[in-house]
Chain A
Amino acid sequence: MHRATSVQRERAYVRGVTTPSQADLDPGRDYPLATRRPELLKTPTGKGIDELTMEAVLAGEVAPEDLRIAPETLRLQAGIAERAGRPQLAQNFRRAAELTALPDELVLSIYNALRPRASTRQQLTAIADELERDYEATLCAQLVREAADVYERRHILAS
């Protein structure tokens, strides 16, 4: 996560530059985002959160994919968690940001592959490679590689 200095943050704020990747949010001022900073919230399909109205739902303009969180939003929330003193929660949100790109079935299959004695070392390595190559999911890939090492040492890989 890009951490601007307070001076940079101040300038960005003054100039009204609030693209999510640059915004460094203050938990006390900006949270909850839905009420305090709704302009920062977009669905992965590019809709603003205010566009998700009942009228739009009934007109068939809202699909299930529109009710998902965007990776940028998760990174904003990671910033808030970090500043609230919760680094592990922030890291979880960053891994989650990576997983937004994966289809549901793939997420479920990776979870199942991480269960004890479910995968060989090669299979876990292949998953990590896929995460990195196809989804730029480096944090998740790291978690899977770490699992492969531990599973090997503790004898809970598939034989």
Chain B
Amino acid sequence: MTTSARRSKRTEALEQRPVNLDGFVEEWPEVGMVAMESPYDPEPGVRVEDGVIVELDGRPRAEFDFLDQFIADHALDIEATERAMAIPAVDIAHLLVDPRATRQDVLAVSRGLTPAKLLEVVKTMNVVEMMMALQKMRARRTPANQAHATSARDNPVQVAADAAEASLRGFRELETTLGVVRYAPLVAIALQVGSQAGTPGVLTQCALEEATELELGMRGITAYAETISVYGTEPVFCDGDDTPWSKAFLASAYASRGIKMRFTSGTGSEVQMGNAEGRSMLYLEIRCILVTKGAGVQGLQNGSISCIGVPGAVPGGIRAVLAENLIASMVDLECASGNDQSFSHSDLRRAARLLPQLLPGTDFVCSGYSSTPNYDNMFAGSNVDAEDFDDWNTIQRDLQVDGGLRHVPEAELLAVRNRAARALQGVFAHLGLPPITDKEVEEVTYAHGSKDLPLRDVLEDLKAAQSVMDRGVTGLDIVKGLEASGFGDMAHNLLAILRHRVSGDLLHTSAILTPELETLSAVNDSNDYAGPGSGYRPSGARWEEMKRLRHVVSAQNPEREVG
């Protein structure tokens, strides 16, 4: 055909657009390759006999899989369920969107809703309605943000400097992980030390296999935990080597040491692992959300997370991702709402995927923003990275929406990066770990990523990492090391964070520490959104801070810039 020989110039231009590097696939509902509109999801329903749920979403108790049973016995409020289930889904959706209905009004109903019913509710909502609802249902009044601080070479010096910068830029939680798992103790120490060089009160975690993550937490080398994965089908849960009961026990184990934790789940993980049992991604994710609720965990990281390429490839997938954040919030869980994984080659698409969480605000808009360039991001990249800081700050300023970050002048950033690296140098020396040279400190102060840094002796570092575990080094040893090397204020901050374990205040829903080292959670900062003029709105000093960007022309003297 002549049309195939000669190609449209416009088609050629469009073919070059980054969005066409993204992968898209057809829906295949029979295997669960469908976001939230599947003919194979069950019909909502519940039956209670003698105070026990005997039927859930059309399945009799004798046939419950372990998720059904856990949800029926631990997540649903048996007193409330039959009454709540009798309310039409669209009426519940109205309750969610109507600002005159309070968050508490919604919780009185949502505590009795089954997975299929929750799905039916969000299926009646478009994304704007979901954002309205999320604005009200977010547990903590004040939104916050979380960053990743990782290194392609697992370089602890880099992690310390990036942690310091991230904390100064406004992140309240920092997460790291490893290329080589055995590096974990050194990198977790680096994160803990570096995070306290910027703004005080930042909480840190290291994503690892469950038992190891708990061990680092118990030692006080990390402050909280998040990578406690739950899955929406029994076979995939078992592939993850866990059950709702093992995970519930793990939740209590963390609380027993005064350590904050949240679970992790997300749409697409079951179909990704090949066992979706023919259910939609969102239906399975709702089961995860209710397992989390039933386990008595305060919160959940969801929003597809590491599987974002799966819902991202099917129709309506990003609507489903917003719906899962909304459902976590509407059953009263802290929600760290994704936006934490590389999502698209297209900048337009990256921003469009971000706005549904950024605009309404969530407990953590990103559950990790990459504080490094994405090539150093060991979670395989985030939706936003260190090169997007100025864009993010500008979007906050344009829309007067608080995404938790601020512009910081270069001199201040260099100062905290340098200080973090020197503090880590001191702590490593104090603990007898491989030395950090002055050259490394100097380079990391000015570095963008691991490519700008001298290589470390990996084998020596790995030996030292093992010795940290063998010798039983704890958070208290890091405090002593900071104090001994002349970083008394950082030692003080870290001790304050460790001391918070004794109070248990951080165990409550959506808890963070303020820069003044006080707990802010859904208990003492509960979301009071009630329509226009109410709820959290950036104002006062915070809004003034948000107005500052790298380049803003002075009104006083237009020949100069401010900030």
Direct A–B touching, Cβ under 8 Å: yes
Contact B246 A111 (CB under 8 A): yes
Minimum CB–CB distance for A35 against chain B, Å = 6
Contact A81 B508 (CB under 8 A): yes
Q: B519 in the interface, Cβ–Cβ < 8 Å?
A: yes
Minimum CB–CB distance for A45 against chain B, Å = 10
With A150-B245, A154-B234 as contacts: A88 and B294 at CB distance below 8 Å: yes
Beta-carbon nearest neighbor of A47 in chain B: B502
Minimum CB–CB distance for A112 against chain B, Å = 7
Contact A146 B245 (CB under 8 A): yes
- The size class of the interface chain B forms with chain A is 35 or more
Beta-carbon nearest neighbor of A60 in chain B: B480
With A54-B483, A69-B502, A154-B234 as contacts: A111 and B211 at CB distance below 8 Å: yes
Residues of B within 8 Å of A98, CB to CB, are 252, 256
Q: What per-residue 1/0 map shows which CB atoms of A96-114 lie under 8 Å from chain B?
A: 1111101010011011101
Contact B524 A31 (CB under 8 A): yes
Contact B523 A27 (CB under 8 A): yes
Q: What per-residue 1/0 map shows which CB atoms of B453-495 lie under 8 Å from chain A?
A: 0000000000000000000001110011001000010011001
Contact B295 A92 (CB under 8 A): yes
Contact B523 A108 (CB under 8 A): no
Q: A126 in the interface, Cβ–Cβ < 8 Å?
A: no
Q: B451 in the interface, Cβ–Cβ < 8 Å?
A: no
Residues of A within 8 Å of B507, CB to CB, are 77, 93
Q: What per-residue 1/0 map shows which CB atoms of A18-39 lie under 8 Å from chain B?
A: 0000000001100111110010
Q: B66 in the interface, Cβ–Cβ < 8 Å?
A: yes
Most buried by B among A43, A76, A97, A147: A147
Residues of A within 8 Å of B495, CB to CB, are 52, 54, 57
Q: B335 in the interface, Cβ–Cβ < 8 Å?
A: no
Contact B66 A34 (CB under 8 A): no
- Report the separation of the CA atoms of residues A96 and B260 in the bound assembly, to the nearest whole angstrom: 12
Minimum CB–CB distance for A84 against chain B, Å = 5
With A49-B502, A58-B480 as contacts: A31 and B243 at CB distance below 8 Å: no
Q: What per-residue 1/0 map shows which CB atoms of A47-76 lie under 8 Å from chain B?
A: 001001010011000111011111001101
- Report the separation of the CA atoms of residues A114 and B256 in the bound assembly, to the nearest whole angstrom: 17
Residues of A within 8 Å of B153, CB to CB, are none
- Report the separation of the CA atoms of residues A102 and B214 in the bound assembly, to the nearest whole angstrom: 14
- Report the separation of the CA atoms of residues A150 and B246 in the bound assembly, to the nearest whole angstrom: 12
Contact B249 A67 (CB under 8 A): no
Task: Identify which of B154-162, B215-223, B429-437, B537-545 touches chain A.
Answer: B215-223
8 Å CB contacts to B: which residues of A138-159? 140, 143-144, 146-147, 150-151, 154, 156
Minimum CB–CB distance for A104 against chain B, Å = 5
Contact B296 A93 (CB under 8 A): yes
Q: B498 in the interface, Cβ–Cβ < 8 Å?
A: yes
Contact A34 B503 (CB under 8 A): yes
- Report the separation of the CA atoms of residues A49 and B500 in the bound assembly, to the nearest whole angstrom: 9
Residues of B within 8 Å of A34, CB to CB, are 499-500, 502-503, 505, 518-519
Beta-carbon nearest neighbor of B479 in chain A: A57
Minimum CB–CB distance for B208 against chain A, Å = 13
Minimum CB–CB distance for A71 against chain B, Å = 8
- Report the separation of the CA atoms of residues A87 and B294 in the bound assembly, to the nearest whole angstrom: 9
User: Which A-B residue pairs are the 8 nearest by beta carbons?
Assistant: A92-B296, A96-B255, A69-B258, A99-B256, A147-B245, A114-B246, A32-B505, A95-B252
Which residues of A pack against B, CB within 8 Å? 27-28, 31-35, 38, 41, 43, 49, 52, 54, 57-58, 62-64, 66-70, 73-74, 76-77, 80-81, 84-93, 95-100, 102, 104, 107-108, 110-112, 114-117, 140, 143-144, 146-147, 150-151, 154, 156
**Given known contacts A89-B298, A114-B243, what 5 new A-B pairs fall within 8 Å (CB)?**
A85-B104, A88-B75, A89-B296, A95-B248, A99-B255
- Between A and B, 28 residue pairs with Cβ closer than 8 Å are A27-B523, A32-B519, A32-B521, A32-B524, A33-B503, A41-B502, A52-B502, A57-B476, A66-B502, A67-B499, A69-B501, A81-B508, A89-B297, A89-B509, A90-B296, A92-B296, A93-B504, A93-B507, A95-B248, A95-B249, A96-B256, A108-B214, A108-B253, A114-B245, A115-B246, A116-B238, A150-B245, A151-B243
